[in-house]
Amino acid sequence: MGKKGDLSDFERGMVVGARRAGLSISETADLLGFSRTTISRVYREWSEKEQISSERQFCGRKCLVDARGQRRMARLVRADRKATVTQITTRYNQGRQKSISERTVRRTLRQMGYSSRRPRRVPLLSAKNRKLRLQFAQAHRNWTIEDWKNVAWSDESRFLLRHSDGRVRIWRQQHESMDPSCLVSTVQAGGGGVMVWGIFSWHSLGPLVPIEHRCNATAYLSIVADHVHPFMTTMYPTSDGYFQQDNAPCHKAGIISDWFLEHDNEFTVLKWPPQSPDLNPIEHLWDVVEREIRIMDVQPTNLRQLCDAIMSIWTKLSEECFQHLVESMPRRIEAVLKAKGGPTRY
């Protein structure tokens, strides 16, 4: 039907049929439950044009972008995902007799399901690294959740004291640009930060270790000897555990490789593909810690307070949180296989 109150073709046919059968306007209105004005209008339209369908359903402004135009617009979007509405409008109007406005383009894109979003950030993968990621996924595609429970995940992360979010927006008038309420203070290098190293498995959270200076091979060796070794031997006393680390230079130093070789009868170092943060569940734990810091009622004002906040949040992470992340590993592996070694949504 068209506008509210219009009749369907079937109802209009009933009106015409009743009137042709000899019923008066009032009798037809009482029989069908419609107003006398409606009965009169429908029968008059039929008498004059001998058609039952209403023309009112076709009233209104004609759509400026038909199905063919939407397909053309979709091709323009797919050809250049970074194009602005102005650029899309200009390209769409090229070679067309009737132009459309940016407002029409914006409205049509919304109707088609497109919206302006920030692009997801993913590592820049070389062909060689794609191949290595794919090989890793193929080698572990049959690992079950029980298999992944035998892996201890580790990584370093840096938390800034002053978190700068470029997505912050404010409402202001043109002359209010320097109003104190419209300013966001910035400091060089985020005002300093705290670097930590952590480890966990499906069974338990491990220690979180602050790194006071640069994490070089010597500092990392102390972490491995003092924290990795006791964690692995406690969690996996039967020597069936795997230790995961990424390919950071300090992890691949000669003294580190020699240490692992001396202890290869106690646990196995998992051969990790390069540029694969999407395969490491601990990356999501860092995100949880970061979010918890940013919603604190009283924000840290110095590095000591920031470090204390990080340590406190780490100890309060729930089993459900980190166990769920480990249980996502089969899905992560499948995503890498589907992407043929390319980046995934994780």
Q: pLDDT-based confidence at 218, cuts 50/70/90? A: very high
Segment 60-90, tens digit of pLDDT? 567 788 888 999 999 998 888 888 899 999 9
Distance CA 109, CA 102 (A): 10
Q: Which two tokens stand for residue 52?
A: 């039952």
- The per-residue pLDDT for range 155-182, each reduced to its tens digit, is 999 999 876 545 555 556 676 666 666 6
Confidence band, pLDDT 50/70/90 cuts, at residue 150: very high
Cα separation, 280 vs 276, whole angstroms = 7
Q: 236-288 pLDDT, tens per residue?
A: 999 999 999 999 999 999 999 999 999 999 999 999 999 999 999 999 999 99
For 331-346, letters b (16+ CB in 10 Å) and e give ebbebbbebebebbeb
Residue carrying the six token digits 């490789």: 257
pLDDT recorded at residue 181: 64
Q: Report the residue count for the chain.
A: 346
pTM more than 0.85: no
338 SS3 class:
helix
